[in-house]
Structure 1
Amino acid sequence: SPQVWSLQDLRLPALAPLQASQNPWPLALRCPSCTSVTSAKIQVNGVHLHYQQTGQGDHAVLLLPGMLGCSQTDFGPQLKSLNKQLFTIIAWDPRGYGRSIPPPRDFPPDFFERDAKDAVDLMQALTFKKFSMLGWSDGGITALIAAAKYPSLIHKLVVWGANSSVTKEDIKLYNAIRDVSKWSEKVRKPMEEMYGHEYFARTCEAWVDGISQFAEKSGNICEHLLPYIVCPTLIIHGGKDPLVPQFHPEYLHKSIQGARLLVIPEGKHNLHLRFAEEFNTEVEKFLAEA
């Protein structure tokens, strides 16, 4: 005979008063606009900067991409899966990257400082008075500089694949990726789709020259600024990162007051994409701590 269920057996959530956190409907059904990703441009420091935004949380988080990267190429799993009830997530395209063209990308001696000012001014223009930053690779360097120079605006900081100096060993690694035709198709293809081959190839060469400038001047990019970072900081490192030797995250760890270092043993440079679930979980846990 068919099994008969009583309402009591079912313990339907509607039978008890609901707390806000117990709402039985998924966020996507209650508020479709809260889980969708919107795309827009806003004028900042004379440039129309492109950004993507999602979520409705009180805690604003800015995602900063790596060399030649942008919101579209670098942060798919984060825009999709970071907690949209806790966080409002913004991913930006630095000037000359992604859809923030024009202007074409260039690399004057202060290009990291320029990116840091653009990033902070973008968030202020979007009326996020205080925010956290997730910075990958070059975006991590930009985030370190922003956290040091604008301490009252930065809530928490997460960086991975980042370095505060350039050594002779680094220059060898950078020159090995100068010629984009030698990149794996998997990494090269989305970049060529975004930029076209010529802009991509030319800008990569210009980046190698731009980052190599620092090696000619004692190697320092932002080592002198690290003692000024006062926000809670999490440094994540891929144990198999071919572009960033382990001494870089170790130096950041010992130079930033109270910083934590998390090593993902099998992680490479793009650990937030390859190990997205583990990465997102660790980042959410860190950002949500009191």
Structure 2
Amino acid sequence: MTSWRNKAKYHLVDGTTKIQYWTNIDNLEEEHNRVIIFNYGLVCNTRHFVYQIDHFEKLGYKILLHDYRGHYQSETTQGIESITFKNIVNDLNSLITTLNIKTSIHIGHSMGVNVTLDYAHKYPQEVQKIVLISGTIFPPQDVMFDSNIIDMTEPYIKQLKSKWKSQFQFIWKNVYRNPLASALVWNGGFNIKKTNIEFVEYYMKKLGELSPDIFFQLLDQMRDQKIIKELEEIKTSTLIIGGDKDKVIPNYLQQILHDSLKNSELYIIKNGSHVPQVDFPEFINERIDLFLN
């Protein structure tokens, strides 16, 4: 890992919100263009792009990694309810402005697709290209696992969380210690022949550092987002990527997204899971290279 990725920096959006970030931009007096910005998924972390970060840094790109408000060391005193796509986009734009980034390329995975689309819609002149991996423009409660099981069970899970708050928090924080839980996530969200269990265990441990309230808050944000009505207004050049074995977000949703974004290309990778950029980094990086150049 290069030195800049070991040194977190902090940006004050205002008196209430501080954003943690990492970047190899070291001269704020100079304007920066084609900076690659990574937007991760629901209760995920920047390691979901580890192979892309390494690859594009070697190619000489400037890179910006960031944690959303309320995630890890990105703090806000406005409360969980302030963790909205609108505020996340505003926080990111404030950071981008401070770093003197004039044009950017956004790569979003899963819920990061929603963040990326919102940003591209609000700041079209700043965003040169976007890469959307394994996302959905429909409420995840209706489409995850190709069923409405999330929609059916979410109210009951929220009731359990509310009734036995401390017990629920304890289980959430320590779920990574349960080998069965890690195995279920590994089999459900990854290609187990390509991604090792250690990657999943790290993800589960990081998930436990976040409040379960953030998960439900952002799940509701994905349900209520109105971006589907604004897709025709997004003219940004787009690459849509999905895995044909994605069990979390079925890849037919990538075709729908492709049909909705007129200036888009579609790449479905064989045997790719919900996290194809981890399963097949060489192929994904090669396809993004082709798109960017």
- The TM-score, its normalising length taken from structure 1, stands at 0.73
**Per-residue Cα deviation, 1:246-283 (whole angstroms, up to 9, x for no partner):** 23211210111221110012111111112111111211
Per-residue displacement from partner, 1:160-216 (whole Å, max 9, x unpaired)? 111111163435257789786463254663245436x4x54x42x65246424665x
Which amino acid in 1 is paired with 2:74? S
**Cα 1:209–1:113 shift into 2, 3 Å:** closer
Which structure dedicates a bigger proportion of its chain to helix? Answer: 2
Deviations 1:4-63 (A, max 9, x none): xxxxxxxxxxxxxxxxxxxxxxxxxxxx87x87653111124421111223798521100
Equivalent runs, 1:6-85 vs 2, <5 Å:
38-45=7-14, 46-54=16-24, 58-71=33-46, 73-85=47-59
SS in 1 for 2:80: coil
CA distance in 2, matches of 1:282, 1:105: 39
Q: Does 1:91 align with 2:96?
A: no
Alignment of 1:78-227 (within 5 A): 78-102=52-76, 106-107=80-81, 111-166=84-139, 168-170=142-144, 171-173=148-150, 181=175, 183-184=181-182, 186=197, 189-191=201-203, 193-194=205-206, 197=208, 199-200=209-210, 202-203=211-212, 206-208=214-216, 210-212=218-220, 215=223, 221-227=226-232
Which residue among 231, 237, 241 is the counterpart of 1:236? 241
Count residues with an aligned counterpart: 248
- Whose radius of gyration is greater, 1 or 2? 1
Per the alignment, residue 281 of structure 1 pairs with 286
CA distance in 1, matches of 2:181, 2:80: 22
Please tell me whether residue 255 in structure 1 is matched to residue 260 in structure 2: yes
Change (3 A) 1:68 1:105: farther
Which segments of 5 or more consecutive residues in structure 2 lack a partner in the other structure? 27-31, 158-170, 184-196
Moved more, 137-146 or 93-102: 93-102
Shift of 1:95: 0.7
Mapped contact 1:96–1:104 kept (Cα < 8 A): no
DSSP 3-state at the match of 1:128:
coil
Q: What SS class does the counterpart of residue 72 from structure 2 fall into?
A: coil
Q: Structure 1: give runs of 5+ residues left out of the alignment.
A: 1-31
Query: Does 2:276 match 1:271?
Result: yes
User: In the aligned structure 1, how far is the partner of 2:285 from the partner of 2:273?
Assistant: 16
Tell me how far 1:65 sits from its aligned partner. 0.8
**What SS does the aligned partner of 1:75 have?**
helix
Large movers: runs of 4+ above 6 Å: 174-179
Cα root mean square deviation, aligned: 3.2
Asked whether the equivalents of residues 165 and 221 of structure 1 are also in contact (C-alpha less than 8 Å), the reply is: no
* TM-score after normalising by structure 2: 0.72
Query: Percent identity of the aligned residues?
Result: 21
Higher relative contact order (CA 8 A, sep 6+): 2
Distance in 2 between residues matched to 1:150 and 1:58, nearest whole Å? 15
Label 1:100 to 1:254 Cα distance change in 2 as closer, same or farther (>3 A). same
